[in-house]
Amino acid sequence: MPARKNTKPLMLGEFAIAAIMIELTPGPNMAWLALLAVSRGRLTGLTAVLGVALGLSFAGVTAAIGVSALIATTPWIFQLLRWAGSLYLLYLAWDAWRSTSTIEEGEFTEPRLRYFSQGLFSNMLNPKAYLVYAAVLPQFIAPEHSLLPQLTILTMLYVVVATVIHAAIVLLAGSLNGLLSNPKRVKMLGRGFAVSLVGIALWFFYSTGVRL
């Protein structure tokens, strides 16, 4: 009778813990979503969370076909994404300031789909998202099993963990949305949101300057 071959199981629990630790580390997504929930409300923040989740899913799919490895080994592609992501955040800051300047009532009137697309594109242009998949996921892969199903499962698990944490941040931050009953306060918070986005853009640019 042939000896039974030992196989390494997919380490879902260990990977889930790693994903939680990564997502609990303060970063641009966390700061942007919290600011958005405070200034625009929970529902707008949760709409943005869905965009972020889709952006992270896109990064995971590209990782599965090897794009992350290309980004990790080709400096100019990494730098292109880094600059594009930072400039996009600066554009969002300008757009937020411009929108706030036209507010006359004590609420924001932009369509929520706008924030879904912002969450989507900011994560599609985030090189750190790709590098997380390239640097972290392989450590939890069992080489004797088929690669694609494992990458798919781990990517889905990471997106679920990130989405739960982001949604919790939005729900907590959204409890401060009652500050928006005063129109002057609305403008002040909106402009503060725009200025904070500039800080997040600079933070993004600095943090992505260090490879994982």
* Average of per-residue pLDDT across 135-163: 81
Residue 201's closest CA among 21, 24, 76, 27?
Answer: 27
Q: pLDDT digit string (tens) for 62-96? A: 877 776 566 666 777 767 767 876 776 677 677 76
Residue 99 has what pLDDT? 61
Residue 23 pLDDT more than 70? yes
Distance CA 127, CA 211 (A): 9
Among the residue ranges 33-42, 161-170, 171-180, the one predicted with the least confidence is: 171-180
The DSSP result for 94-132, as a single string, is: HHHHHHHHT--SSS--S-THHHHHHHHHHHHT-HHHHHH
Structural domain spans, the chain: 41-207
The DSSP secondary-structure symbol of 105 reads S
Residue 166 has what pLDDT? 94
Residue 187 has what pLDDT? 65
Residue 56 has what pLDDT? 92
| Distance between first and last Cα of the chain | 46
pTM greater than 0.85: no
Name the phi and psi angles at 145, rounded to 5.
-105, 165
Among the residue ranges 11-20, 103-112, 122-131, 182-191, the one predicted with the least confidence is: 103-112
More confident residue, 145 or 5: 145
More confident residue, 38 or 192: 38
Q: Which residue has the tokens 């300057």?
A: 209
Confidence of residue 120 (pLDDT cuts 50, 70, 90): very high
Residue 34 has what pLDDT? 83
